[in-house]
Amino acid sequence: MKAKVITRGAMITGIYIVITYLLAPVSFGPLQFRLAEALTVLPILYPEAVPALFLAVMLSNIIGGLGLVDIIGGSLVTLLAAAVTYKFRHSIIAYLSPIIFNGLLVSLYLALLFELPYWLTAVQITISQAVVILLFGNPLIRFLRSRQENSRYL
């Protein structure tokens, strides 16, 4: 069972990095649409997703080229959001935490780095996160839940 958990965590990290890398032009900066953020709801089902997402964002933000503030800041915001998502996995808070934390906290340093108004950056990041999580993350969770339910009978 431990090997399965480690493998799943590694897969989450790898998939996040690959999606971010392939969509790099829209994955970084104050106006971003990071499709890999759909995976930030995975702690709803898998506790190992919490450290996996932390590592994924840390490694992905190295690609982004915004420096240590993004590498460390983005990773810590993701860790916070993932932990809250896991803790409140049975409520709407699980879906809201990556939207709100990224929207309010990541935009703090992005606004400073790009010399943009904070609220403009916060609104853009929040909307982007909401779209990704609601249009891709939510269906992903529903799909994975259905697979778990069906596999009980195999």
- Per-residue DSSP letter, 33: -
Angle (CA) 144-41-112 rounded to 5° is 155
What are 68's two structure tokens?
């240590």
For residue 101, the enclosing domain spans 2-151
Give yes or no for a contact between 103 and 121, defined as CB atoms under 8 angstroms apart.
no
How many structural domains does the chain have? Answer: 1
Q: What is the pTM of this model?
A: 0.94
Q: What's the pLDDT at 152?
A: 59
2-28 pLDDT per residue, tens = 999 999 999 999 999 999 999 999 999
**What does the DSSP 8-state code read for residue 90?**
T
Residue 42 Cα distances to 23, 36, 56, 138, angstroms: 20, 11, 13, 10
Indicate whether 45 pLDDT > 80: yes
pLDDT tens digits for range 49-78: 999 999 999 999 998 989 999 999 999 999
- Collapse the DSSP code of 154 into the 3-class scheme (helix H, G, I; strand E, B; otherwise coil) and give the result: coil
Length of the chain: 154
